Amino acid sequence: MIKHLAFIFLAIVVSSCHGYAAISSTSFKDIATGKCTVIDLTYPLNKNNAYWPAPSYSPFTYKSVATHKDNGVFSGTYSTPEHLGTHIDAPNHFEDNQPSVDELTLESLIGPASVIDISDKVENNADYELTVEDITDWEKVNGRIRDRSIILLNTGWSRRWNDYEKYKNVDDSNKLRFPGYSADAARFLVEERDINGIGIDTLSADYGISKDFAVHHIINGSSKYILENVANLNKLPPTGATLIIAPIKIEGGSGGQARVWAIMSHH
């Protein structure tokens, strides 16, 4: 099994740096020498992290339980909702009888990133929802979405990340106002394309004012996952990056914090 995983990792690095060249150890050199760049799409966990603003959800907390000074060793303990910071929604989050976070296959957590930028449309409309036409327009420029892709929606919302109030953007009638995927776009992605999952740089794949969470039901109902609060999407090209997602392995969990990174070449 360990040999098998090493093979997968090597194959990804090679395919993202040299097309589908033969597997060789030079791919690791490409990372060390900067021919390939690795970009972290994960926000650091701290007490200011955005989380789903519902009752019984709470901020991230951390406290040290041992210090160098008093104990000769430093260690801490923390608590967090699963749906806080950069995290994954497992398929069982919105649908019964779907895989929990520990049951996601490792193969599904690796794939080509297709990055769709709608930040200019969101600029004038915080309630903007990605349309099917946005996707097909993107394909006219970048080619058809590759099989086993992870779709990443760059809405520009990350500019608000350091201010939870601005990030939630609650209006006078207590509604969240931020952009997302439309239900039609989600349906198109699971029915007409072969994707591993989707991601977004906001609190939810459904736009803020959604009441039915249609996108969550469609994606999770197709046994696929959703990444939320993804960082640094503006640093990724539309295609050419390979994504690796490493969620915390909570047995039976509905999701959880995930370290997400992208490997990309400079040519």
Q: What residues line the site for Zn ion (CB under 5 A)?
A: 83, 89, 228
Tell me the residue number closest to Zn ion, measured at CB.
83
Q: Which is nearer to Zn ion, 138 or 178 (CB)?
A: 178
Helices within the chain (DSSP H only): 2-18, 26-32, 68-71, 119-123, 132-142, 164-168, 183-192, 214-221
Quick one: tokens of 5?
């995983």
Q: Which residues contact 210 (CB under 8 A, 6 or more apart)?
A: 180, 204
Q: Which is nearer to Zn ion, 94 or 138 (CB)?
A: 94
Residue 89: CB minimum distance to Zn ion, A: 4
* Residues 114, 142: Cα–Cα separation, whole Å: 9
Residue 81 has a CB neighbour count (10 Å cut-off) of 20
* Residues 158, 231: Cα–Cα separation, whole Å: 7
Q: Which is nearer to Zn ion, 89 or 134 (CB)?
A: 89
Q: Which is nearer to Zn ion, 50 or 262 (CB)?
A: 50
Residue 3: CB minimum distance to Zn ion, A: 34
Residue 219: CB minimum distance to Zn ion, A: 11
Residue 87: CB minimum distance to Zn ion, A: 6
Element (H, E) at 263: strand 255-265
Residue 83: CB minimum distance to Zn ion, A: 4
Q: Which is nearer to Zn ion, 201 or 228 (CB)?
A: 228
